[in-house]
Structure 1
Amino acid sequence: MRGLKRLYFLVPDVDTARKIIDELLLAHVPYEHIHLLARAGTPLEDLPQAGITQQTDVVPALERGLAVGGTLGALAGLAALAFPPAGVVAAGGAILFGALGGAGFGAWVSAMIGVRLPNSRLERFEGALEQGLLLMMIDVPRDRVEEFQDTIKSHHPEAEIEGTEPTIPAFP
């Protein structure tokens, strides 16, 4: 699968967002790759609203939990090899199972924490959202970023391009 980049656009109203979404769908951007965020109380009707993975820090927390938990689990497995408990013969599987168990536990704990925190990448848009603007987040193939930016800007000069995010992970 090709890597995706998330584009950020601020648009003035729901009608503009609807027109951009229609154009994106015609350009074969999957509906699931379009996310819209607005201040509370803004009726978005049938438009694709940002979900929990876009609104919270769950994905970055999950990534950190996998890395830290896997590392600590592998170290615990190495310790079990170096200092086996009395009467237990530890083999190389201890490292593997320690890493997998640590990664799983770390991911679970981190995700539980991250789901309660607002997405730190969206802090810069809080003022614009409070003023009534809508934030569009669009995940597009990394080799087509400029094409989509140019198309949206040429068809909708009222849309403000706010940049891109690093490569989007393949999950969730």
Structure 2
Amino acid sequence: MRHRLFYLLPDIDSARRALDDMLLNRIEVRHIHFMSERSPVPPDLPEANVLQKTDVVHGAQAGMLVGALLGMMVATGVVAYFDPVAKATLAIAITLAAMVFGGWAASMVAAALPNSRLKSFYPELDKGKLLMIVDVPARQVRKIEKVMADRHPEMRFAGEAAGVPVFP
């Protein structure tokens, strides 16, 4: 598992130095992302993607849950008119279809919303700071935190989220 570390940086130069330190500590560039509200992130810094900037993931999860529940309710009303063999298949198909549709519809709406998991960072981002999001292997978390604290006194450690999947 990986841990997601959040750092608030005061400016672009600090972000470039932090990126260099991450790369020197063998954190792959695909696990490092920067986010800014005021100005665009320069092309030499890896920018946070849509999944990290918006509420797509949270919206899809909520939509799939609501879709599955509504699908089960519709399925219980519809299957009463079919033979017993078709009831189970039809109920599962309706529930799955409603779950997929609910996840898709809710994620489309949530794509226009800022990430609710990052709402505590938005006041600082509005002031012109940058957010660095780094996915670090669990065994390297303390080492990275120490390196960043020692080499970047201008940066503020802003939190940690455990349980980030190893893949992508």
Q: Write out aligned runs for 1:145-160 (5 A).
A: 145-160=141-156
Once superposed, which parts of structure 1, at least 4 consecutive aligned residues long, lie more than 4 Å away? 169-172
Q: Decide which of 25, 28, 31 is 1:27's aligned counterpart.
A: 25
Note closer, same or farther for the CA distance 1:171–1:107 as it changes in structure 2 (3 Å cut). Answer: farther
1:71 aligns with 2:73: no
Equivalent-residue separation in structure 2 for 1:62 and 1:122 (angstroms) = 17
1:91 aligns with 2:79: no
2:49 — aligned with what?
51
Shift of residue 13 of structure 1?
A: 1.7
Note closer, same or farther for the CA distance 1:23–1:165 as it changes in structure 2 (3 Å cut). Answer: same
Shift of residue 151 of structure 1?
A: 2.2
Note closer, same or farther for the CA distance 1:108–1:168 as it changes in structure 2 (3 Å cut). Answer: same
Shift of residue 59 of structure 1?
A: 0.9
Where do 5+ consecutive residues of structure 2 fail to align?
none
Q: Decide which of 112, 115, 119 is 1:119's aligned counterpart.
A: 115
Instruction: String of CA shifts for 1:32-83, please: whole Å, max 9, x gaps.
Output: 22111123335523101112111111111111112221232234334433x1
How many pairs were matched up? 168
Equivalent-residue separation in structure 2 for 1:43 and 1:6 (angstroms) = 20
% same residue: 35
1:135 aligns with 2:131: yes
Query: What CA RMSD, in Å, does the superposition of the two structures yield over aligned residues?
Result: 2.6
- State the one-letter code of the partner of 2:19: I
Normalising to structure 1: TM-score of the pair? 0.82
Q: SS of 1:92's equivalent?
A: helix
